[in-house]
A = this chain, B = another copy of it.
Amino acid sequence: MTELDPVAATLDAVHRELAPLDEGELAGYIPPLLLADPSRFGLAVCSPEGRLWSAGDHAEHFSIQSISKVFAFALALADRGLDAVLERVGCEPSGERFNAISLEADTGRPDNPMINAGAIVTCSLVAGDSAAGRFGRILSLMSACAGRDLTVDEGVFAAELETADMNRALGYLMRSAGSLTADVDETLWVYLRQCAVLVTADDLAVMAATLACGGVNPVTGVRTMSSDVARHVLTVMATCGMYDASGEWMLRVGSPAKSGVAGGVITASPATFGLGLYSPLLDAQGNSLRSVRACELLAERFSWHAL
Protein backbone atom coordinates (compact mmCIF):
# COMPACT_ATOMS: atom_id res chain seq x y z
CA MET A 1 0.00 0.00 0.00
CA THR A 2 1.64 3.24 -1.12
CA GLU A 3 0.42 6.79 -1.22
CA LEU A 4 -0.66 6.16 -4.76
CA ASP A 5 -3.29 3.61 -3.77
CA PRO A 6 -6.56 5.57 -3.89
CA VAL A 7 -8.53 3.15 -1.69
CA ALA A 8 -5.91 3.22 1.07
CA ALA A 9 -5.65 6.98 0.80
CA THR A 10 -9.41 7.39 1.05
CA LEU A 11 -9.71 5.08 4.06
CA ASP A 12 -6.93 6.98 5.79
CA ALA A 13 -8.53 10.30 4.98
CA VAL A 14 -11.91 9.21 6.30
CA HIS A 15 -10.27 7.82 9.42
CA ARG A 16 -8.39 11.06 10.00
CA GLU A 17 -11.51 13.14 9.43
CA LEU A 18 -13.77 11.17 11.78
CA ALA A 19 -11.42 9.99 14.53
CA PRO A 20 -11.77 13.31 16.45
CA LEU A 21 -15.59 12.94 16.49
CA ASP A 22 -16.36 12.04 20.08
CA GLU A 23 -20.13 12.40 20.22
CA GLY A 24 -22.45 9.50 21.00
CA GLU A 25 -22.49 7.05 23.86
CA LEU A 26 -21.31 3.54 24.67
CA ALA A 27 -24.03 0.89 24.71
CA GLY A 28 -25.17 0.48 28.29
CA TYR A 29 -27.45 -2.52 28.12
CA ILE A 30 -24.80 -4.97 29.31
CA PRO A 31 -21.91 -3.94 31.57
CA PRO A 32 -18.97 -5.28 29.49
CA LEU A 33 -19.86 -2.98 26.56
CA LEU A 34 -19.35 0.02 28.83
CA LEU A 35 -15.69 -0.99 29.16
CA ALA A 36 -14.99 -0.34 25.47
CA ASP A 37 -12.47 2.39 24.65
CA PRO A 38 -14.56 5.18 23.10
CA SER A 39 -11.67 6.41 20.96
CA ARG A 40 -11.45 3.16 18.97
CA PHE A 41 -12.24 3.46 15.27
CA GLY A 42 -11.31 0.93 12.59
CA LEU A 43 -12.24 0.47 8.92
CA ALA A 44 -11.52 -2.19 6.34
CA VAL A 45 -12.56 -2.76 2.72
CA CYS A 46 -12.33 -6.09 0.93
CA SER A 47 -12.55 -6.23 -2.87
CA PRO A 48 -14.15 -9.05 -4.92
CA GLU A 49 -10.61 -10.13 -5.69
CA GLY A 50 -9.96 -10.63 -2.00
CA ARG A 51 -7.66 -7.65 -1.50
CA LEU A 52 -7.97 -6.02 1.91
CA TRP A 53 -7.36 -2.38 2.84
CA SER A 54 -7.55 -1.25 6.45
CA ALA A 55 -7.19 1.87 8.60
CA GLY A 56 -7.22 2.69 12.30
CA ASP A 57 -8.13 0.02 14.87
CA HIS A 58 -8.97 -2.55 12.24
CA ALA A 59 -7.59 -5.45 14.27
CA GLU A 60 -9.38 -4.58 17.52
CA HIS A 61 -11.74 -7.34 18.77
CA PHE A 62 -15.35 -6.68 19.74
CA SER A 63 -18.57 -8.72 19.95
CA ILE A 64 -20.47 -9.06 16.68
CA GLN A 65 -23.89 -8.62 18.32
CA SER A 66 -26.78 -8.12 15.83
CA ILE A 67 -24.58 -8.51 12.76
CA SER A 68 -24.73 -12.23 13.59
CA LYS A 69 -28.43 -12.17 12.61
CA VAL A 70 -27.35 -11.96 8.98
CA PHE A 71 -25.46 -15.25 9.12
CA ALA A 72 -28.03 -17.15 11.18
CA PHE A 73 -30.59 -16.06 8.58
CA ALA A 74 -28.34 -17.31 5.78
CA LEU A 75 -28.04 -20.70 7.48
CA ALA A 76 -31.80 -20.95 8.09
CA LEU A 77 -32.39 -20.19 4.39
CA ALA A 78 -29.84 -22.82 3.38
CA ASP A 79 -31.34 -25.39 5.78
CA ARG A 80 -35.05 -24.81 5.12
CA GLY A 81 -35.42 -22.85 1.87
CA LEU A 82 -36.88 -19.36 1.42
CA ASP A 83 -40.55 -20.37 1.49
CA ALA A 84 -40.29 -22.41 4.68
CA VAL A 85 -38.39 -19.62 6.44
CA LEU A 86 -40.91 -16.97 5.33
CA GLU A 87 -43.72 -19.06 6.79
CA ARG A 88 -42.19 -18.47 10.22
CA VAL A 89 -40.62 -15.02 9.95
CA GLY A 90 -41.69 -12.15 7.67
CA CYS A 91 -39.47 -10.02 5.43
CA GLU A 92 -41.13 -6.62 5.78
CA PRO A 93 -39.65 -3.62 7.54
CA SER A 94 -41.41 -3.11 10.87
CA GLY A 95 -41.15 0.65 10.95
CA GLU A 96 -39.96 0.17 14.52
CA ARG A 97 -36.96 -0.32 16.84
CA PHE A 98 -34.81 -3.44 17.15
CA ASN A 99 -36.70 -4.76 20.16
CA ALA A 100 -40.17 -4.01 18.80
CA ILE A 101 -42.95 -6.40 19.73
CA SER A 102 -43.98 -6.65 16.09
CA LEU A 103 -45.85 -9.88 15.51
CA GLU A 104 -48.29 -10.14 12.60
CA ALA A 105 -51.86 -10.15 13.90
CA ASP A 106 -53.00 -13.24 12.04
CA THR A 107 -49.87 -15.42 11.91
CA GLY A 108 -47.85 -14.38 14.96
CA ARG A 109 -44.79 -14.10 12.67
CA PRO A 110 -42.21 -11.50 13.67
CA ASP A 111 -41.86 -8.85 10.98
CA ASN A 112 -38.38 -9.73 9.75
CA PRO A 113 -35.20 -11.60 10.74
CA MET A 114 -33.23 -8.42 11.53
CA ILE A 115 -35.29 -7.45 14.61
CA ASN A 116 -34.66 -9.44 17.78
CA ALA A 117 -37.95 -11.35 17.66
CA GLY A 118 -37.27 -12.48 14.10
CA ALA A 119 -33.66 -13.35 14.88
CA ILE A 120 -34.78 -15.58 17.76
CA VAL A 121 -37.15 -17.51 15.47
CA THR A 122 -34.37 -17.68 12.86
CA CYS A 123 -32.05 -19.38 15.38
CA SER A 124 -34.72 -21.99 16.02
CA LEU A 125 -34.86 -22.75 12.28
CA VAL A 126 -31.14 -23.55 11.98
CA ALA A 127 -30.77 -27.33 11.73
CA GLY A 128 -29.05 -29.16 14.59
CA ASP A 129 -29.69 -31.82 17.22
CA SER A 130 -29.10 -29.53 20.15
CA ALA A 131 -28.57 -25.90 21.07
CA ALA A 132 -24.82 -26.52 20.99
CA GLY A 133 -25.12 -28.15 17.58
CA ARG A 134 -27.10 -25.25 16.12
CA PHE A 135 -24.72 -22.69 17.57
CA GLY A 136 -21.73 -24.66 16.28
CA ARG A 137 -23.09 -24.51 12.74
CA ILE A 138 -23.70 -20.74 12.97
CA LEU A 139 -20.17 -20.22 14.32
CA SER A 140 -18.76 -22.35 11.48
CA LEU A 141 -20.56 -20.30 8.85
CA MET A 142 -19.39 -17.02 10.38
CA SER A 143 -15.83 -18.42 10.56
CA ALA A 144 -15.95 -19.53 6.91
CA CYS A 145 -17.15 -16.07 5.89
CA ALA A 146 -14.38 -14.42 7.93
CA GLY A 147 -11.76 -16.88 6.74
CA ARG A 148 -10.56 -17.73 10.24
CA ASP A 149 -11.85 -19.55 13.35
CA LEU A 150 -13.90 -17.12 15.41
CA THR A 151 -14.42 -17.53 19.17
CA VAL A 152 -16.91 -16.44 21.84
CA ASP A 153 -16.30 -13.74 24.45
CA GLU A 154 -17.53 -15.69 27.50
CA GLY A 155 -17.77 -12.56 29.65
CA VAL A 156 -20.07 -10.86 27.15
CA PHE A 157 -22.12 -14.06 26.77
CA ALA A 158 -22.58 -14.38 30.54
CA ALA A 159 -23.68 -10.74 30.72
CA GLU A 160 -26.15 -11.20 27.85
CA LEU A 161 -27.73 -14.18 29.62
CA GLU A 162 -28.16 -12.13 32.78
CA THR A 163 -29.97 -9.24 31.11
CA ALA A 164 -32.17 -11.12 28.68
CA ASP A 165 -35.58 -10.21 30.14
CA MET A 166 -36.81 -8.48 26.98
CA ASN A 167 -35.61 -11.22 24.65
CA ARG A 168 -37.09 -13.84 26.99
CA ALA A 169 -40.39 -11.92 26.84
CA LEU A 170 -40.26 -11.96 23.03
CA GLY A 171 -39.56 -15.68 23.12
CA TYR A 172 -42.57 -16.46 25.32
CA LEU A 173 -44.79 -14.12 23.29
CA MET A 174 -43.89 -16.02 20.14
CA ARG A 175 -44.36 -19.38 21.88
CA SER A 176 -47.79 -18.16 22.88
CA ALA A 177 -48.52 -16.96 19.32
CA GLY A 178 -47.29 -20.25 17.88
CA SER A 179 -44.50 -18.72 15.81
CA LEU A 180 -41.75 -20.12 18.05
CA THR A 181 -42.10 -23.87 18.61
CA ALA A 182 -38.67 -24.51 20.15
CA ASP A 183 -37.77 -24.19 23.83
CA VAL A 184 -37.29 -20.54 24.83
CA ASP A 185 -34.23 -21.02 27.06
CA GLU A 186 -32.40 -23.19 24.52
CA THR A 187 -33.15 -20.85 21.64
CA LEU A 188 -32.01 -17.81 23.63
CA TRP A 189 -28.81 -19.67 24.50
CA VAL A 190 -28.05 -19.99 20.78
CA TYR A 191 -29.12 -16.44 19.96
CA LEU A 192 -27.20 -14.74 22.77
CA ARG A 193 -24.10 -16.89 22.20
CA GLN A 194 -23.94 -15.94 18.51
CA CYS A 195 -24.14 -12.28 19.57
CA ALA A 196 -21.03 -12.75 21.76
CA VAL A 197 -18.73 -13.94 18.94
CA LEU A 198 -15.59 -11.81 18.65
CA VAL A 199 -14.65 -10.15 15.34
CA THR A 200 -12.50 -7.31 13.99
CA ALA A 201 -13.24 -4.73 11.30
CA ASP A 202 -11.00 -6.80 9.01
CA ASP A 203 -13.17 -9.88 9.68
CA LEU A 204 -16.35 -7.94 8.97
CA ALA A 205 -14.94 -6.63 5.67
CA VAL A 206 -14.21 -10.17 4.48
CA MET A 207 -17.60 -11.40 5.72
CA ALA A 208 -19.32 -8.55 3.84
CA ALA A 209 -17.27 -9.25 0.71
CA THR A 210 -18.37 -12.89 0.90
CA LEU A 211 -21.98 -11.73 0.65
CA ALA A 212 -21.03 -9.33 -2.15
CA CYS A 213 -19.39 -12.23 -4.04
CA GLY A 214 -22.51 -14.41 -4.04
CA GLY A 215 -21.39 -16.46 -1.06
CA VAL A 216 -17.79 -17.18 -2.09
CA ASN A 217 -15.18 -15.89 0.36
CA PRO A 218 -12.94 -13.86 -1.97
CA VAL A 219 -9.86 -14.35 0.23
CA THR A 220 -10.05 -18.11 0.76
CA GLY A 221 -12.06 -18.98 -2.35
CA VAL A 222 -14.41 -21.13 -0.25
CA ARG A 223 -18.12 -21.13 -1.10
CA THR A 224 -19.98 -20.53 2.19
CA MET A 225 -23.55 -20.37 0.91
CA SER A 226 -25.39 -20.47 -2.43
CA SER A 227 -25.64 -17.31 -4.51
CA ASP A 228 -29.42 -17.32 -4.04
CA VAL A 229 -29.00 -17.30 -0.26
CA ALA A 230 -26.44 -14.49 -0.47
CA ARG A 231 -28.81 -12.44 -2.64
CA HIS A 232 -31.75 -13.03 -0.30
CA VAL A 233 -29.65 -12.02 2.69
CA LEU A 234 -28.48 -8.81 1.03
CA THR A 235 -32.05 -8.00 0.02
CA VAL A 236 -33.35 -8.29 3.58
CA MET A 237 -30.38 -6.21 4.79
CA ALA A 238 -31.38 -3.56 2.22
CA THR A 239 -35.00 -3.32 3.35
CA CYS A 240 -34.71 -4.13 7.08
CA GLY A 241 -31.04 -4.04 8.10
CA MET A 242 -30.91 -0.64 9.74
CA TYR A 243 -34.25 -1.01 11.62
CA ASP A 244 -36.39 2.12 11.39
CA ALA A 245 -33.65 4.05 9.55
CA SER A 246 -33.26 1.58 6.67
CA GLY A 247 -34.96 3.83 4.10
CA GLU A 248 -32.75 6.81 4.88
CA TRP A 249 -29.63 4.61 4.89
CA MET A 250 -30.46 3.36 1.39
CA LEU A 251 -30.92 6.98 0.23
CA ARG A 252 -27.74 8.30 1.88
CA VAL A 253 -25.42 5.28 1.53
CA GLY A 254 -27.16 2.89 -0.81
CA SER A 255 -25.66 -0.51 0.03
CA PRO A 256 -27.32 -3.18 2.20
CA ALA A 257 -26.01 -3.03 5.77
CA LYS A 258 -26.30 -4.33 9.32
CA SER A 259 -25.07 -2.84 12.56
CA GLY A 260 -24.34 -4.29 16.00
CA VAL A 261 -24.71 -2.59 19.36
CA ALA A 262 -21.03 -3.09 20.23
CA GLY A 263 -20.15 -0.68 17.43
CA GLY A 264 -19.67 -2.92 14.40
CA VAL A 265 -21.19 -2.29 10.94
CA ILE A 266 -21.04 -4.29 7.72
CA THR A 267 -22.18 -3.13 4.32
CA ALA A 268 -21.77 -4.78 0.95
CA SER A 269 -22.48 -4.01 -2.69
CA PRO A 270 -22.85 -6.98 -5.07
CA ALA A 271 -19.68 -7.67 -7.06
CA THR A 272 -18.23 -4.37 -5.82
CA PHE A 273 -17.00 -4.44 -2.22
CA GLY A 274 -17.45 -5.49 1.37
CA LEU A 275 -16.89 -3.01 4.17
CA GLY A 276 -16.34 -3.62 7.88
CA LEU A 277 -16.26 -0.86 10.51
CA TYR A 278 -15.88 -0.54 14.26
CA SER A 279 -16.38 2.33 16.63
CA PRO A 280 -18.22 1.83 19.93
CA LEU A 281 -19.85 5.27 20.31
CA LEU A 282 -23.49 4.98 19.24
CA ASP A 283 -25.96 7.53 17.88
CA ALA A 284 -29.55 7.94 19.08
CA GLN A 285 -30.68 5.06 16.82
CA GLY A 286 -28.12 2.74 18.39
CA ASN A 287 -25.86 2.67 15.33
CA SER A 288 -22.11 3.28 15.48
CA LEU A 289 -21.77 7.01 14.97
CA ARG A 290 -18.34 7.18 13.31
CA SER A 291 -19.13 4.08 11.23
CA VAL A 292 -22.36 5.51 9.82
CA ARG A 293 -20.65 8.79 9.01
CA ALA A 294 -17.75 6.90 7.40
CA CYS A 295 -20.14 4.94 5.18
CA GLU A 296 -21.78 8.17 4.02
CA LEU A 297 -18.41 9.70 3.14
CA LEU A 298 -17.18 6.54 1.38
CA ALA A 299 -20.47 6.19 -0.57
CA GLU A 300 -20.04 9.77 -1.76
CA ARG A 301 -16.39 9.36 -2.73
CA PHE A 302 -16.73 5.97 -4.43
CA SER A 303 -20.29 6.45 -5.85
CA TRP A 304 -21.10 2.91 -4.92
CA HIS A 305 -24.88 3.25 -4.56
CA ALA A 306 -26.45 -0.09 -5.48
CA LEU A 307 -29.35 1.47 -7.44
Residue of chain B at shortest CB distance from A172: B169
Inter-chain contacts of A307 with B (CB < 8 A): 231, 234-235, 238, 256, 270, 306
Distance in Å from the Cβ of A252 to the closest Cβ of chain B?
9
* Given contacts A93-B95, A165-B175, A239 and B247 within 8 Å (CB-CB): yes
Contact B165 A172 (CB under 8 A): yes
- Does chain B have a CB within 8 A of A176? yes
Q: Name 20 interchain pairs, CB-CB below 8 A, sorted by A.
A: A82-B251, A90-B247, A92-B95, A93-B239, A93-B246, A95-B102, A165-B173, A165-B175, A166-B172, A166-B173, A166-B176, A169-B173, A173-B173, A231-B305, A235-B250, A235-B251, A238-B239, A239-B246, A256-B307, A306-B306
Inter-chain contacts of A102 with B (CB < 8 A): 95
Residue of chain B at shortest CB distance from A112: B247
Inter-chain contacts of A82 with B (CB < 8 A): 251
Inter-chain contacts of A176 with B (CB < 8 A): 165-166, 169
Contact A91 B238 (CB under 8 A): no
Contact B169 A92 (CB under 8 A): no
Residue of chain B at shortest CB distance from A212: B307
- Chain A interface main SS type: helix
Inter-chain contacts of A40 with B (CB < 8 A): none
- Does chain B have a CB within 8 A of A96? yes
Copies of this polypeptide in the complex: 4
- Does chain B have a CB within 8 A of A203? no
Q: Which of B101, B270, B305 contacts A101 (CB 8 A)?
A: B101
| Residues 83-113 of A at the B interface (beta carbon under 8 Å) | 86, 90-96, 101-102, 111-112
Contact A240 B251 (CB under 8 A): no
* Given contacts A95-B93, A168-B172, A306-B306, A236 and B251 within 8 Å (CB-CB): yes
Cα A96 to Cα B254 in complex, Å, equals 23
Distance in Å from the Cβ of A171 to the closest Cβ of chain B?
8
- Does chain B have a CB within 8 A of A61? no
- Does chain B have a CB within 8 A of A25? no
Contact A91 B165 (CB under 8 A): no
- Does chain B have a CB within 8 A of A245? yes
Cα A238 to Cα B176 in complex, Å, equals 30
Contact A111 B95 (CB under 8 A): yes
Contact A91 B169 (CB under 8 A): no
Contact A247 B165 (CB under 8 A): no
Name which of A82, A165, A234 has the most chain B CB atoms within 10 A of its CB.
A165
Inter-chain contacts of A305 with B (CB < 8 A): 231, 235
Inter-chain contacts of A101 with B (CB < 8 A): 101, 173
What sequence of 0s and 1s flags, for each residue 126-146 of chain A, a beta carbon within 8 Å of any chain B beta carbon?
000000000000000000000
